[in-house]
Amino acid sequence: MKVAVFGAKRYDREMLTELNAAHGHALTFFEARLEPGTVALAAGFPAVSIFVNDQVDAAVAEALAAGGTRLVATRSTGFNQIDLHAAARHGLRVTRVADYSPHSVAEFATGLLLSLNRRIHKAHERTRSGNFELDGLMGFDLHGRTVGVIGTGKIGRVFARIMAGFGCTLLGHDPQEHPEFEALGGRYVSVEHLAAESDVISLHCPLTDGTRHIVNADFLARTRPGLLLVNTSRGGLLDTRAAIAALKSRRLGGLAIDVYEQEASLFFQDRSSDIIDDDLIQRLVSFPNVLLTGHQAFFTREAFGTICATTLESVTAFERGEELVNEVVAPG
């Protein structure tokens, strides 16, 4: 089947090309993101594959369908970039990668937390320029601290297990309570209780209308002074302006993010020679207690291999008229 692969980087091309030997699809790679200005490239492709910052809104869904596309296969777990109702209206089926190494993201969140708490990124910068001073690098023992996990699905539970290994007390918030989280010693509480009682909070829920800005000014006003906040889920979960205000007032002790509300125009590109006219991200990186990475938590050999393999399997199943095990449909 002819597949247009949007947002294709060198690593996408290499992995998809290698794994496609078992499928025989005709893959065409576009570095561009799929959005209103690029959707014309998809004309004549029955399947398109996209990534987290592509945009399948109503206009793009309509244009895709008009160009003959029938399948949108996102190479991600989250599908908040796709208007599922519009896709359904235009007869587009949508698949995602429901399952890939949750360890990739949970381990990365742990790495961010350790770096943020113990200032490892700062120490690295210092020693490279011959500064072996410890002043300003003091952290705290995670052992005995309370860690709040918002979203205790696959990734949240692996993260919780790692934190249990450190000897932390676990609080969770999730509309769907998982016995496995409780088996780790975790206790489900309201989001307000979690905000008030945690020394560390890590976000692992999907971005939906109900979770957008789940961490906002109200939430941050309830937190313990010095809270460390980690977000490896989706940028829209955190109200960035509220986080900046909480950092300025010193209430928020540190912020580590792999995702950012306005990442679509920045991430996955080398913008180092450009003037970046996003004042929020520029303000964020100016804080010594903010650690920012460019949406790389998923990026391990294991997770990325599964992402590419599952995407190709979805296209093959679609071509053969088989059941789409990774299909996502609009609620209701």
Binding stretches for ligand NAI (CB under 6 A): 77-78, 102, 105, 150-156, 173-176, 204-207, 210-211, 232-234, 258-259, 295, 297-298
Copy the structure tokens of residue 100: 């890939």
CB of 140 to ligand NAI, least distance (A): 25
Nearer to ligand NAI, 20 or 293 (CB): 293
Nearer to ligand NAI, 33 or 295 (CB): 295
Q: What angle do CA 2, 97, 46 make, to 5 degrees?
A: 20
Tell me whether residue 295 is one of the annotated catalytic residues. yes
CB of 157 to ligand NAI, least distance (A): 8
Tell me whether residue 263 is one of the annotated catalytic residues. yes
Name 214's Cβ contacts closer than 8 Å, sequence gap at least 6. Answer: 150, 191, 203, 205, 237, 238
Tell me whether residue 178 is one of the annotated catalytic residues. no
Q: Give CA 96 to chain center in angstroms.
A: 14
| Rounded Cα distance, 57 and 38, in Å | 13
Q: What angle do CA 302, 304, 308 make, to 5 degrees?
A: 120
Strand order in the sheet with 187-188: 187-188, 169-173, 146-150, 200-203, 227-231, 252-257, 290-292
> Which residue, 62, 68, 61, 104, is CA-closest to 307?
104
CB of 258 to ligand NAI, least distance (A): 5
Nearer to ligand NAI, 42 or 160 (CB): 160
CB of 295 to ligand NAI, least distance (A): 5
Nearer to ligand NAI, 139 or 206 (CB): 206
Question: Of the listed 263, 271, 313, 327, which one is catalytic?
Answer: 263
Question: Of the listed 96, 234, 261, 313, which one is catalytic?
Answer: 234
Residues that are catalytic: 234, 263, 295
